[in-house]
């Protein structure tokens, strides 16, 4: 039955070469921990990706309850956390995952740095990685405000003040982020838009470029 269905789809879309290309792709010996234990450092990119997928999925479910305005934001999070079935788990995954993904990304960056994997011909992928790094930090910063509790409000206020103190461009960055002079209703709407549309969109594009380059260049050689 399954085989028949597969053959039906394959006859029309010719999917076999595509998935064989993925499934038969061989991993070099120096990145296989079964051969050299220290090769486990190569897992961090994949782990970062795994948690990123969890963040996207759990975040999509959070938006089914979250209300992005200053009157309702806090209550909507409280309701999700305390009343909605599995709400505490989904929110917990997104909350802890946000920190874990930064840790994993940092370890991945260290692996790339200390194995010299940023060198020719992978310089461009390093640059894409740096952009991804900032996008991920931006996601953490904008997401932190969304529950609209005191910790979120005052932590973000400090963050915005730091941005404001940057010479020349600081005040513009502040206005762009807050949408006005104070951290208020406009700011929450902006942070929400940036957190769920702008940065995830940028991230998907950058990750696509990251993976296309990894596939076309192959993983870097042994030390
Ligand atoms: C969401 C964040 C990121 C994800 C999901 C990700 C994912 C991956 C994956 C799966 C690989 C394959 C090799 C491995 O797993 O170690 C890889 C390789 C690579 N990554 Fe990332 N990465 C991210 C962020 C970064 C950052 C921040 C940098 C550097 C600033 C970076 C630079 C590179 C480079 C240069 C390679 C090629 C390494 C080689 O060929 O040995 N990546 N990335």
**Three-class secondary structure assignment of the chain:** CHHHHHHHHHHHHCCHHHHHHHHCCCCCHHHCCCCCHHHHHHHHHHHHHHHHHHHHHHHHHHCCCCCCCCCCHHHHHHHHHHCCCCHHHHHHHHHHHHHHHHHHHHHHHHHHHHCCCCCCCCHHHHHHHHHHHHHHHHHHHHHHHCCCCHHHHHHHHHHHHHHHCCCCCHHHHHHHHHCCCCCCHHHHHHHHHHHHHHHHHHHHHHHHHHHHHHHHHCCCCCC
Check residue 145 and give its pLDDT: 98
Provide the pLDDT for residue 87: 98
Report, as an integer, the average pLDDT of 93-118.
Answer: 98
Of the two residues 188 and 181, the one the predictor is more confident about is 188
Q: What is the pLDDT of residue 27?
A: 84
CATH 1.20.810.10 assigned to domain 30-217? The reply is yes
Write down the pLDDT at residue 157. Answer: 97
Q: What is the mean pLDDT of residues 18-41?
A: 92
- Does any ligand 1 atom lie closer than 6 A to the CB of residue 49? yes
Residue 79 Cα, ligand 1 centroid: separation in angstroms?
Answer: 38
What's the pLDDT band for 69 if we cut at 50, 70, 90?
Answer: very high
Measured in Å, residue 106 CA sits from the centre of ligand 1 at: 10
Q: Average pLDDT of 108-122? A: 98
Q: Which atom of ligand 1 is nearest to the CA of 42?
A: 16
Cα separation, 44 vs 103, in Å, equals: 10
Cα(129) to ligand 1 centroid in Å equals: 7
Measure 74 CA to ligand 1 centroid, in angstroms. Answer: 36
pTM for this one? 0.94
pLDDT in tens, 136-161: 999 999 999 999 999 999 999 999 99
pLDDT at 26 over 90: no
Q: Domain map of the chain by residue range? A: 30-217
């Amino acid at each position: 039955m399954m085989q028949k269905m597969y053959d039906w789809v394959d006859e029309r879309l010719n999917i076999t070469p595509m998935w064989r290309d993925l499934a038969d792709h061989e991993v070099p010996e120096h990145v296989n921990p079964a051969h050299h234990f220290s090769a486990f450092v190569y897992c961090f990119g994949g782990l970062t990706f795994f948690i990123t997928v969890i963040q996207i999925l759990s975040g999509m479910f959070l938006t089914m309850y979250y209300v992005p305005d200053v009157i309702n934001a806090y209550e909507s999070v409280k309701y999700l956390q305390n009343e909605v079935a599995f709400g505490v788990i989904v929110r917990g995954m997104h909350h802890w995952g946000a920190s874990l993904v930064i840790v994993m990304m940092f370890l991945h960056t260290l692996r790339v740095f200390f194995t010299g994997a940023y060198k020719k011909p992978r310089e461009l992928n390093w640059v894409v990685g740096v952009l991804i790094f900032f996008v991920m930090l931006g996601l953490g910063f904008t997401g932190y405000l969304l529950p609209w509790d005191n910790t979120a409000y005052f932590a973000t206020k400090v963050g915005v003040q730091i941005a404001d103190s940057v010479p020349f461009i600081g005040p513009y960055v502040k206005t762009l982020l807050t949408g006005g002079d104070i951290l208020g209703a406009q700011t929450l709407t902006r942070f929400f838009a940036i957190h769920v549309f702008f940065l995830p969109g940028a991230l998907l594009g950058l990750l696509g470029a990251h993976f296309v380059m990894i596939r076309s260049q192959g993983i870097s050689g042994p030390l």
